[in-house]
Amino acid sequence: MLGPAKKIDVFEPARRDADVPLQETLGAFQELVRQGKIGGVALSEVSAQSIREAAKIAKIESVEIELSLWQTEPLTNGIVQACKELDIPILAYGPVGQGMLAGKYKTFDDLPADDYKRQFPRFQPGNFEKNIELVRTLEKFAARKKCTPAQLAINWLLALSDRPDMPVIIPIPGATTAERVEENSTIVDLTEDEMKEIDGILKSFEIVGTRYPEHAMHMTNT
């Protein structure tokens, strides 16, 4: 597709096929690296075990996972620890919680009729009303900091990355307008005391419902 003009800098399969050995997958990618067609290999939505296994086979440039104030599981399931030990940067997708931390949705009915998130358990009625309480608490914190909830969410990841027990964490928010790009790019300094306060907020709330429907969840953390 790019022709002779440029190689793909980093190639990353969006999910791991658990039915195909990592040696086979990464071996094929390494051949593409040798041929100069790609610059390196990354992984996405893989488990800590897969990260460690992959690192024995090939150099892993980065690991892309959903990580945010809305999705903190990688902090406790070994993924972040594995990336720290192996010096692999994390690309944090969904840093504003699929729009929840951007203030886009206040009720389930705010989701457009054709929005795929209506199928996600944590967005569905019953769960939504419980999960929005975390968002409201974070909105109050952001108001005290004189920033938007989205800015708080993105800068929390940057501050997390600065902690000595963390790997490099790079938030990769999406944006559809120039205004949103500017908002997402604003730096908000968080003190260690403020980070500890956020830690306490997160511990006091339990997000209800899985990130994806059941049929899609078994393709994550593989």
Domain-by-domain residue ranges, the chain?
A: 3-217
- Percent helix, strand, coil in the chain, to 5, is 50, 10, 40
Residue 136 and residue 98: Cα distance in Å, rounded?
15
Q: What is the mean pLDDT of residues 172-190?
A: 93
DSSP code string of 40-95:
-EEEES--HHHHHHHHTTS-EEEEEEE-BTTB-GGGTSSHHHHHHHHT--EEEE-T
Higher-pLDDT residue of 48, 222: 48
Do residues 202 and 72 touch, judged by C-beta distance below 8 A? yes
SS3 170: strand
Sheet with 60-66: list strands edge to edge.
Answer: 41-44, 60-66, 90-93, 169-171
Do residues 97 and 134 touch, judged by C-beta distance below 8 A? no
Q: What is the mean pLDDT of residues 200-216?
A: 86
Angle (CA) 44-205-197 rounded to 5° is 90
SS3 22: helix
SS3 169: strand
Q: What is the mean pLDDT of residues 187-205?
A: 97
Q: What is the mean pLDDT of residues 23-27?
A: 94
* CATH code at 3-217: 3.20.20.100
Model pLDDT for residues 82-119, shown as the tens digit of each residue: 999 999 999 999 999 999 998 889 999 999 999 989 99
pLDDT reported for residue 22: 92
